[in-house]
Amino acid sequence: MSKKDLKLKFDELSSVIGTFKGLEIEVGRIFDDEWEEPMGPTPFPSVGTLRNWDRKLLERYKPFYMPFCDLCCLCTFGKCDLTGDKRGACGIDMAGQQSRIVLIACCIGASTHTAHARHMLDHLLEEFGRNAPLEVALNTGVEAPNIRLVCGIRPKTLRDLEDALDYVETQLVQLMAAAHTGQEGDNIDFESKAFHAGMLDHVAMEVADISQISTLGLPKGDPEAPMTELGYGSIDVSKPVIMCIGHNVLPSVDIIDYLMENKLFGEVEIGGLCCTAHDMSRYDKRSKVIGPISWQLRFIRAGIPDLIVVDEQCLRTDIMIEARKLGVPVIATSEKSCLGLPDRTHDDPDAIVRDLASGAVDGVLIIDPKKVGEVTVKTVLEVAPKRAGKKSFSLDELSELANSCRLCMECVRACPNNLPIVEAMQAAKEGDYSPFAALNDLCVGCARCESACPVDLPIISMITKANEPANLLEKFPMRVGRGAIQDTEIREVGQPIVFGEIPGVVAMVGCANYPAGGGDVARITEEFLKRRFIVVTSGCSAMNIAMTRDEEGLNLYEKYSGHFDAGGLVNVGSCVSNSHITGAAIKIANIFAKRNLRGNYEEIADYIYNRVGAVGVAWGAMSQKAASIAAGCWRLGIPVVVGPHGAKYRRMLLGRKDKEEDWIVYNARDGEEVYVGPAPEHLFYAAETVEEAIVMITKLTMRPNDTAKGRAVKLTHYIDLYKRYYGTMPDDLHLYVRKITDVPFTMRDEIMVALEEKDWSEEKIAIPDPTLLDRMVRRRS
Amino acid sequence: MSKKDLKLKFDELSSVIGTFKGLEIEVGRIFDDEWEEPMGPTPFPSVGTLRNWDRKLLERYKPFYMPFCDLCCLCTFGKCDLTGDKRGACGIDMAGQQSRIVLIACCIGASTHTAHARHMLDHLLEEFGRNAPLEVALNTGVEAPNIRLVCGIRPKTLRDLEDALDYVETQLVQLMAAAHTGQEGDNIDFESKAFHAGMLDHVAMEVADISQISTLGLPKGDPEAPMTELGYGSIDVSKPVIMCIGHNVLPSVDIIDYLMENKLFGEVEIGGLCCTAHDMSRYDKRSKVIGPISWQLRFIRAGIPDLIVVDEQCLRTDIMIEARKLGVPVIATSEKSCLGLPDRTHDDPDAIVRDLASGAVDGVLIIDPKKVGEVTVKTVLEVAPKRAGKKSFSLDELSELANSCRLCMECVRACPNNLPIVEAMQAAKEGDYSPFAALNDLCVGCARCESACPVDLPIISMITKANEPANLLEKFPMRVGRGAIQDTEIREVGQPIVFGEIPGVVAMVGCANYPAGGGDVARITEEFLKRRFIVVTSGCSAMNIAMTRDEEGLNLYEKYSGHFDAGGLVNVGSCVSNSHITGAAIKIANIFAKRNLRGNYEEIADYIYNRVGAVGVAWGAMSQKAASIAAGCWRLGIPVVVGPHGAKYRRMLLGRKDKEEDWIVYNARDGEEVYVGPAPEHLFYAAETVEEAIVMITKLTMRPNDTAKGRAVKLTHYIDLYKRYYGTMPDDLHLYVRKITDVPFTMRDEIMVALEEKDWSEEKIAIPDPTLLDRMVRRRS
Amino acid sequence: MSQKMTLGQTAEIAGPKKAFIIPKPEVVASMIKRAKRPLLVVGSESAKTMTSDGVLVDTAIRLIGKMTVAATGHLVSEFLKRDVQGVHSISLMNLGDRLRDPLWGGFDGEGQYDLVVFAGFPYYLEWLVLNGLKSFAMDLRTISLTRSYQPNASWSLGSMKVDEWKEVLDKIASTLMEEN
Amino acid sequence: MSQKMTLGQTAEIAGPKKAFIIPKPEVVASMIKRAKRPLLVVGSESAKTMTSDGVLVDTAIRLIGKMTVAATGHLVSEFLKRDVQGVHSISLMNLGDRLRDPLWGGFDGEGQYDLVVFAGFPYYLEWLVLNGLKSFAMDLRTISLTRSYQPNASWSLGSMKVDEWKEVLDKIASTLMEEN
Ligand code: SF4
Ligand code: SF4
Ligand code: SF4
Ligand code: SF4
Ligand code: SF4
Ligand code: SF4
Ligand code: SF4
Ligand code: SF4
């Protein structure tokens, strides 16, 4: 009934509030008296609590709006034209409207993880009890850095996580409310609210991931987490194939358990797409990872799955149509994604199996994961033999199909990346399928081309078919998501990161909406691994990283260790594991620098911003979740770089390195306000090319607190990469070389020439104990 | 820290879960063992719990989508063209996308009230304590029908309301999550989720209103609630004028309290706009109601307010710009609407007053209502004398202004109602201001015309000025919001309503986005009052109803009683008071028909749908709140009629009276499935004209359970109105006359002719004990 | 610097599918003539929209017989006031709902219409209903005779001045009245 | 039945303010000539976009001296490979951000540009940046030389075939090269 159902019964209870007889009370929260850390100033911050901090950041990094639409249609006063200096009927202007949409997107994103966390937690509480301990990572005391920091509580059991979620839900509703027509009037306030949503998102993700890690036996921060297999080739198509798509592993866990209990694991293949795949492989490395979101259609079209189980988030909404075409039954398992299917949660499993296997229904909704497990396995065993041999068309038919192409270009116009589909059609007409095959790596699998095609050509199937031989061999190792970073690892790398000797922590995260294929993600990753940055990764990006091999046939997971250390490639796991990435930054401030975490958001964010050279990279960022995850990074002072499609997030947060007055900090030692140079230059940045991105990421790792040695290391990488890609020296070195000791020795001469051209002198840029917070000044001079 | 801060200390506690020493626990909930009503099947329903019920309704009332945009731009895969049979990059189609936007709108709407309720409740808990009793209405035991029905709990104190809000917040986050890119794939499932949001909204509204009624001394369901004054003319401009805009009365309460405590009430005028005005007048009838949302700009432009206090919701987002122009300081009081102002919550009040009065700052943000009270009053007393004499331009200047008009028509194109602004300009050039004055009643005050004008003519000011003499005299009585309907009233009218002898309950609610002025609302209202329907009203509509007088100078509040009875005009109050309207319908099922409420949603909705002739009318519905309020009505089986702008809500829920198979119900007496005719014909309906609306509202009051006498009464009104406006007999009488006894005696002949034309016969339409729920069948024949 | 919209309200921005502009009145007339089941729908503003026949209601009256005529809102009363029978009364919402149903029998039970001509509506309301039909009644052809461009119709008049519009309308009606 | 968009990607639907279509190449040339501080910005696709000069980079090189030339992404390397100096390197985001600042001094510190010509970008990215400038740099005139219509510029080419576009581009460059 109530979600908090632990009751105590008393015959008589006397307390400060009076005497009660025959009373039942429910325990809301058992307080933890043992945490010696004093409470910081902002536990459970409300919408406005951190507004001043946000405004400091947004003053430096002013939003540059690129409206994705000129109109607003959110209420019946509209549509309103907001171009130029026009205002809507509610009084809003273009900047306000764009930031309002950003807020809505971030709320949807954060809600998605929060709802996921709530569902996960409710289920695990039921299964494992309120007092199931949180065991998140080996050698780790700081189990939940985001929760400690934001909420000011230290969760010890599953139950304690409810406090964090209650808070997040309350705040998200406040934020959604602020998006109502006619209310907030200031775009910077909307941006601040979007930051708030982002911060909440990291708390929610943390709840989701640490609860599943603690109870389901996922790796506990193990750098040597096992390898799993990824790709079409990893699936043994001679067995019945279950394909699980989505982001919530619970139904898949019960499928795996059912397979185990019934000793069927060897008989049935189970593979996942998107984050469910990550979490399945964390649960059992024998489950296969098929690929990122962009592979959904291709994999289905290839005719491989015999049954599809969908949970939530990042599903194609047309999955029923695709599955129907191929006679593949679908089991939906989440109230959030019912797909119009009949709710069979309360039916007899065998009756459901019968209906699915006979084709009497093409899909069912089953909310109970246990029942999903049983029905899925039983159904696939019945369905697979019947489907055997069902194939898509042959290569010969491909040219026939191509022959019906009218060369009308509608497909190319609809393609988000303008891929040369028509050229491929023309070649295919003449039997040359290589141009089609070449599209395989570039296509994001969105099917807009097919939708636009007047003769309904199955363009994705054609691409897949043309590349079939290569596809079927595709099989790559990937280290399964390890979860959090251990406290001991933080202790080791804290100093080199803060002093700049490890040049930076680069987080390769986010979706698969790449401008030119997933290979770019592997390319960026390798560049930084070779340079001994720490690279952390998650989600679709972690998969795409696996999918490139070097000449020796090795991929990056094989070549680099899974340790959170220089040159380590750390797959944390699914989207919700992103909380461990911000968590690591927070832990550096806490464990290495001994800053208090508890309800102490501003100080920690100020620390990270000025000292920890972490940069997020979401090259194919697509979703509202990516928007809110990024917003959570910004509030913590972590810049984020996205690919060109990321400009559709409607605004970038850009610093002006040419404005000296924008880069003043307090010196915490004496309160003096000093110029520290434009580091980091931007907070949110869309790069036009991979090369531009690599150089910008490198530059964004610079922080005011870098030691001379650290700055020199960072400048070395920056200059080296800039020269390689731009063919010349950067023109802003005078903003980053503070003292002569910052100059990398090997590049001394050319740097000095560049500096002289800019009238550089040593006095301009300070190396203080930097802070944006007046109150962090220890002593006034 | 935690919002639930009642702690109990124990030296030692032994319980089922173990023995604790030195423990502090927080009481989550004290269970109510006394409620003898058994728990129904669906307490705290989750997203999918009532899906089957929704699908029954949506099967009858299929959404007819009218896309407000052909594209989707919600993620970086977009924009996607969704016209025709195209799908977006996530696989969504046009119906899915439109319903997804509807879901987002309803979530924003419900979040707005939920956030409001949370803010209100947190504040009142702090002020009045957890155990403050809920005293909602005189002669009333069912204090919270929506909460009882949905949550299955019976709240007794403020604290109990938190359980309801916790639940609503959790669910809203689930719903927002479902709007994420690539997930739900079925438009009917999106619609069902929108219904869920609507249901949650009514719970949240109820929390907000019953908590303020119980603690702040608002009228407790008093039919004789006092009259207040409404209109420009109600303000004594010789005094300093405070204008409060928004929807959350807390800051205004503290302003009034401060005025009282300092014996200043007579010295200062305080007036409100929008729902804050309602709630201020409920708190103290001496505070004035200026008008609905559409009057914001006009009233400010008239130069009347000396200080503006804004809280939340339905503010113009350009309020700072308008206030700045006139040198009127602004105090923002909500984290949801910070307007970019400096946060002075923690500053010395006198320092703030000094800065505002001197003009050093043009506005401040103060989150603490007490401090708002003090600062507001002190500031207005300082500011008003300085502003004295500040006027807008004179009538002469009006023609000068008009002279600079280029007659370019941009304003008319931008005007949502295509008002003849250019004609007014032309006349004004020649000194005839009457066409301008005539716009006063038609203009919704949106300022889109001004925004579009290339020479920046202050068109709204010109309209206001031309009508100034009339405006300044405008002063109307309005009965202040009485809150809930008393149980005793329900007991009296339950039977006549269910049997159809009171022809219907018409709820005139919602915003002021009228197609042709607010007079239409008064006109509709009077039509139904004259016919002895019960008319309930709230929000902006309740104000517009006040603003029309008959030849004797009386308005409807003067002519009709405030009783919930035939011919009564019941102003329930502000937007959150809308929960009392659904509450009344629920109470009819409970108190009159003795159906259990507790967690028994489907049965009660089924009851209301088949028996209670209630219709919601939101002639000027504008906002996301209106969308979710309406959705809450639909799920309860209450149809809603909107004005033509309401079509921008993107879809109507339309029945097909020509399809007999759509109107089959179970007869609860014997389980037989019988045809009952298309009653009510539609669930959501946009009327093109007022006349069409009046007739449709009348028709929608018909329900399958009407007695012959009741149906005859309803048909009388329907036919009478139809003939008056359409000039002929309705052509669908054969669908509504079940037996000859249904035929109104006075119209017998012409009806029989009409029926004969349609081959009507008595056997076709049944009069069962109607239900859509299989399980309500008592005995199978 | 940039081009302003010159075509009606700013709300009219349409999506990728946009109405053809009717090149000349005769084209409308011949589309109607060629249609198997053409329907003219006149809206609530028809009683106050001036045409060369008086108001739009009067123009619609001329066309009865050439096509099925329906009136929305309570507009049928205007026809009845003029003692004109044979005009079907249906609300705009009900009409939109039925036009998207391929199985609807029409007013005479003979089947769905293949061409629907709209006139006399508030701009935004027509815009919305036409957009519902554009996506959900893809086989239906729609013509808007509104004085401002209606992008969501299959065919629309361009925006024009009052007098010009009156002429165009008259020409359409006259052409229709001619023997084939 | 209805008209299809024929102008580039479906994403291009613009709002109420829409680019004028450049009637002929000479118009662009003369706008540039008349501008006080014209800027040409070439984007990352300029290295693989064929023109009559080779690729777009080569065409841009012809124009150095006639206007300030900037290259975004890492495109400057293409100029340096050809031993061409004098091209400014700036990222597209930084450029957009500075163009909306009336106080920006430009590459030479002499003040904001009054006319910016864009070429060589991914369609959607140019669309977005131009839309940022449309609303937030209202005094700036922008010209898009992309082969598909760019509605958010002040002036844009209409969509055209590759060969036609090459000619138009060449004509613009040639006209600019002529003595005034
Ligand atoms: S924001 Fe997107 S959905 Fe809205 S009008 Fe623009 S393109 Fe259409
Ligand atoms: S904001 Fe989005 S949904 Fe609204 S009109 Fe624009 S594109 Fe359409
Ligand atoms: S929210 Fe504002 S800008 Fe948007 S449609 Fe409504 S009135 Fe217009
Ligand atoms: S599926 Fe691939 S080829 Fe088709 S539009 Fe999408 S990205 Fe382009
Ligand atoms: S849209 Fe279809 S027919 Fe047209 S070019 Fe593309 S594949 Fe060929
Ligand atoms: S949510 Fe779907 S339809 Fe909308 S922009 Fe993204 S991919 Fe396209
Ligand atoms: S303010 Fe009045 S006249 Fe101006 S556009 Fe709005 S409704 Fe029309
Ligand atoms: S937009 Fe301004 S100038 Fe143009 S007609 Fe209207 S009032 Fe006159």
Closest ligand to Cα B92: 6
Same domain for A469 and A483 = no
- Domain edge (last residue) among A372, A391, A410: A391
- Report the distance separating Cα A557 and Cα B337, nearest Å: 48
Same domain for A163 and A91 = yes
Q: Which residues pair with A573 in a beta bridge?
A: A538
**Would you call B71 an interface residue with chain D, using a CB distance cutoff of 8 Å?**
yes
- Report the distance separating Cα A79 and Cα C12, nearest Å: 9
Please check whether residue B740 is in contact with residue B762, taking contact to mean a CB–CB distance below 8 angstroms: yes
Same domain for B276 and B424 = no
Residue B556 has pLDDT above 60, yes or no: yes
User: Reading across the β-sheet that carries B288-291, which strands appear in turn?
Assistant: B363-365, B330-332, B307-310, B241-245, B269-273, B288-291, B227-230, B476-479
Same domain for A386 and A405 = no
Per residue in D70-118, pLDDT (tens digit) is: 999 999 999 999 999 999 999 999 999 999 999 999 999 999 999 999 9
Task: Return the best residue to mutate from B398, B399, B407 for the ligand 8 pocket (most ligand atoms within 8 A of CB).
Answer: B407
Token output for A261: 């209990």
Task: Return the best residue to mutate from A90, A101, A104 for the ligand 3 pocket (most ligand atoms within 8 A of CB).
Answer: A90
Interface of A with D in 7-36 (CB under 8 A): none
Using 50, 70 and 90 to split pLDDT, how confident is the model at B21?
very low
Per residue in A645-704, pLDDT (tens digit) is: 999 999 999 999 999 999 999 999 999 999 999 999 999 999 999 999 999 999 999 999
Q: Is residue D97 assigned to a domain?
A: yes
Q: How many CB atoms lie within 10 A of CB B197?
A: 32
Our answer on whether the CB atom of A425 is closer than 6 Å to any ligand 3 atom is no
- Report the distance separating Cα B87 and Cα B82, nearest Å: 5
What stretch of H or E contains A244? strand A241-245
**Would you give the DSSP letter of residue A135?**
-
Residue B197 has pLDDT above 60, yes or no: yes
Please check whether residue C157 is in contact with residue C144, taking contact to mean a CB–CB distance below 8 angstroms: yes
Task: Return the best residue to mutate from A460, A461, A462, A464 for the ligand 4 pocket (most ligand atoms within 8 A of CB).
Answer: A460
Q: Is residue C30 assigned to a domain?
A: yes
| Mean pLDDT value across residues A245-274 | 94
Out of C14, C76, C96, the one facing B726 most closely (by C-beta) is: C76
pLDDT of residue A185: 87
- Report the distance separating Cα A72 and Cα B710, nearest Å: 46
Closest ligand to Cα B104: 2
Same domain for B447 and B306 = no
**B629: region left, alpha or beta (phi > 0 left; psi from -120 to 50 alpha):** alpha
Closest chain C residue by Cα to residue A72: C11
Record: contact A82-D94, CB cut-off 8 A: no
Record: contact B66-C132, CB cut-off 8 A: yes
Please check whether residue B482 is in contact with residue B570, taking contact to mean a CB–CB distance below 8 angstroms: yes
Interface test with C, best of B81, B662, B692, B724 (most C CBs within 10 A): B692
Using only the alpha carbons of chain B, give its radius of gyration: 27
- Report the distance separating Cα B618 and Cα B633, nearest Å: 12
Question: H helices of A359-420, where?
Answer: 369-387, 395-403, 410-414
Per residue in B416-458, pLDDT (tens digit) is: 999 999 999 999 999 999 999 999 999 999 999 999 999 999 9
Residue B614 has pLDDT above 90, yes or no: yes
Count structural domains, chain B: 5
List pocket residues of ligand 6, CB cut-off 6 Å. B 72-75, 77-78, 80, 88-90, 92, 181
Same domain for B327 and B283 = yes
DSSP of D141-168, one letter per residue?
A: EEEE--SS--TTSSEEPPP--HHHHHHH
Per residue in A196-221, pLDDT (tens digit) is: 999 999 999 999 999 999 999 999 99
Q: Is residue C108 assigned to a domain?
A: yes
Per residue in A735-772, pLDDT (tens digit) is: 999 999 999 999 999 999 999 999 999 989 999 999 99
**Would you call A410 an interface residue with chain D, using a CB distance cutoff of 8 Å?**
yes
- Report the distance separating Cα C70 and Cα C107, nearest Å: 9
pLDDT of residue B391: 60
Which CATH number fits the domain that encloses residue C65?
3.40.50.1220
What's the CA angle centered on B553, arms B552 and B557, to 5 degrees? Answer: 110
List pocket residues of ligand 5, CB cut-off 6 Å. A 405-411, 421-422, 425, 452-455, 457, 459
Closest chain A residue by Cα to residue C11: A79
Nearest protein Cα to ligand 7, atom 4 = B449
Per residue in A430-482, pLDDT (tens digit) is: 999 999 999 999 999 999 999 999 999 999 999 999 988 887 778 999 999 99
Per residue in B373-407, pLDDT (tens digit) is: 999 999 999 999 988 655 667 888 899 999 999 99
- Report the distance separating Cα A581 and Cα A615, nearest Å: 10
Q: Is residue D10 assigned to a domain?
A: no
Residue A719 has pLDDT above 60, yes or no: yes
Per residue in B516-555, pLDDT (tens digit) is: 999 999 999 999 999 999 999 999 999 999 999 999 999 9
Q: Is residue A235 assigned to a domain?
A: yes
Of residues A91 and B21, which shows the higher confidence score? A91
Nearest protein Cα to ligand 5, atom 1 = A453
Same domain for B160 and B62 = yes
Using only the alpha carbons of chain A, give its radius of gyration: 27
- Domain edge (last residue) among A427, A451, A473: A473
**Would you give the DSSP letter of residue C4?**
P
Record: contact D92-A69, CB cut-off 8 A: no
Same domain for A130 and A16 = no
Q: How large a percentage of chain B has pLDDT more than 90?
A: 85
Buried b (16+ CB within 10 A) or exposed e, A214-224: bbbebbbbbbe
pLDDT of residue A20: 47
Question: Which residues have CB under 8 Å from C42's CB, separation 6+?
Answer: C56, C57, C60, C69, C70, C71, C72, C75, C119, C120
Distance from CA of B455 to the nearest CA of D (A): 16
**Which chain B residues touch C138 with a CB distance below 8 Å?**
84-85
Closest chain C residue by Cα to residue A69: C13
Which CATH number fits the domain that encloses residue B266?
3.40.50.2030
* Mean per-residue pLDDT over chain B, rounded: 93
Of A31-35, A504-508, B611-615, C135-139, least confident by mean pLDDT is A31-35
Q: How many CB atoms lie within 10 A of CB B15?
A: 15
Q: Is residue D99 assigned to a domain?
A: yes
Token output for A38: 């004093």
Record: contact C13-A79, CB cut-off 8 A: yes
Same domain for A274 and A361 = yes
pLDDT of residue A31: 53
Q: Is residue B44 assigned to a domain?
A: no
Write down the residue that tokens 């307080």 correspond to: A31
Helical pair D56-63 and D162-177, crossing angle rounded to 10 deg: 20
> How distant, in Å, are the alpha carbons of B404, B407, B413, C124, C165 from that of B453?
11, 10, 10, 21, 26
Using 50, 70 and 90 to split pLDDT, how confident is the model at A392?
low
Count structural domains, chain D: 1
Q: Is residue B580 assigned to a domain?
A: yes
Sequence-ordered strand ranges (E) for B327-402: 330-332, 363-365
Residue A112 has pLDDT above 50, yes or no: yes
Q: Is residue B638 assigned to a domain?
A: yes
Query: Helix or strand or coil: residue A88?
Result: coil
Using 50, 70 and 90 to split pLDDT, how confident is the model at B291?
confident
Token output for B646: 């309401």
Q: What is the identity of the amino acid at A150?
A: V
Our answer on whether the CB atom of B81 is closer than 6 Å to any ligand 2 atom is no
Nearest protein Cα to ligand 5, atom 7 = A405
Find how far residue B247's CA is from the centre of its chain: 12
Residue C96 sits in which domain range? 20-178
Buried b (16+ CB within 10 A) or exposed e, B379-408: bbbbbbeebeeeebeeeeebbebbeebeee
Token output for B381: 């007393």
What's the CA angle centered on B167, arms B161 and B168, to 5 degrees? Answer: 90
Taking chain C (180 residues) in runs of 10, the rounded mean pLDDT of each run is 28 57 94 97 97 97 96 98 97 98 96 98 94 95 93 91 96 87
Question: H helices of A704-767, where?
Answer: 708-726, 748-757
Same domain for B486 and B459 = no
pLDDT of residue B40: 96
**Would you call C4 an interface residue with chain D, using a CB distance cutoff of 8 Å?**
yes
Please check whether residue C87 is in contact with residue C56, taking contact to mean a CB–CB distance below 8 angstroms: no
Q: In ligand 5, which atom is closest to the CA atom of A412?
A: 6
Q: Is residue C8 assigned to a domain?
A: no
- Domain edge (last residue) among A391, A426, A444: A391
What number of residues does chain C have?
Answer: 180
Our answer on whether the CB atom of B448 is closer than 6 Å to any ligand 8 atom is no
Residue A773 has pLDDT above 90, yes or no: yes
- Report the distance separating Cα A543 and Cα B638, nearest Å: 50
Which CATH number fits the domain that encloses residue A57?
1.10.8.190
Per residue in A303-359, pLDDT (tens digit) is: 889 999 999 998 999 999 999 998 999 999 999 999 999 999 999 999 999 999 999
- Report the distance separating Cα B291 and Cα B511, nearest Å: 11
**Which chain B residues touch C134 with a CB distance below 8 Å?**
67, 70, 83-84
Interface of A with D in 617-646 (CB under 8 A): 644-645
What number of residues does chain A have?
Answer: 781
Residue A27 has pLDDT above 60, yes or no: no
Record: contact A25-B31, CB cut-off 8 A: yes
pLDDT of residue A17: 46
Same domain for B14 and B135 = no
pLDDT of residue B34: 76
- Report the distance separating Cα C27 and Cα B596, nearest Å: 65
Distance from CA of C48 to the nearest CA of A (A): 24
Same domain for A743 and A724 = yes
Using 50, 70 and 90 to split pLDDT, how confident is the model at A107?
very high
Q: How many CB atoms lie within 10 A of CB A688?
A: 25
Residue ranges of chain D with per-residue pLDDT less than 70: 1-16, 179-180
Closest chain B residue by Cα to residue A452: B86
Question: Which residues have CB under 8 Å from D111's CB, separation 6+?
Answer: D37, D104, D105
Our answer on whether the CB atom of A75 is closer than 6 Å to any ligand 2 atom is no
Q: Is residue B675 assigned to a domain?
A: yes
Interface test with C, best of A70, A72, A75, A79 (most C CBs within 10 A): A79
- Report the distance separating Cα A756 and Cα A632, nearest Å: 40
Closest chain C residue by Cα to residue D137: C1
Nearest by Cα to A743 from A724, A770, A769, A765 = A765
Nearest by Cα to B5 from B23, B31, B33, B28 = B28
Q: Is residue A61 assigned to a domain?
A: yes
Closest ligand to Cα A295: 4
Closest chain D residue by Cα to residue C137: D1
Please check whether residue A725 is in contact with residue D74, taking contact to mean a CB–CB distance below 8 angstroms: yes
Residue B616 sits in which domain range? 478-774
- Report the distance separating Cα A123 and Cα A249, nearest Å: 12
Q: In ligand 8, which atom is closest to the CA atom of B449?
A: 1
| Mean pLDDT value across residues B602-622 | 97
Per residue in B312-359, pLDDT (tens digit) is: 998 999 999 999 998 999 999 999 999 999 999 999 999 999 999 999
Q: How many CB atoms lie within 10 A of CB C81?
A: 11
Buried b (16+ CB within 10 A) or exposed e, A384-411: beebeeeebeeeeebbebbeebeeeebb
Q: Is residue B452 assigned to a domain?
A: yes
Q: Is residue D7 assigned to a domain?
A: no
Record: contact B621-A76, CB cut-off 8 A: yes
Closest ligand to Cα A448: 4
Distance B413 CA to ligand 7 centre (A): 10
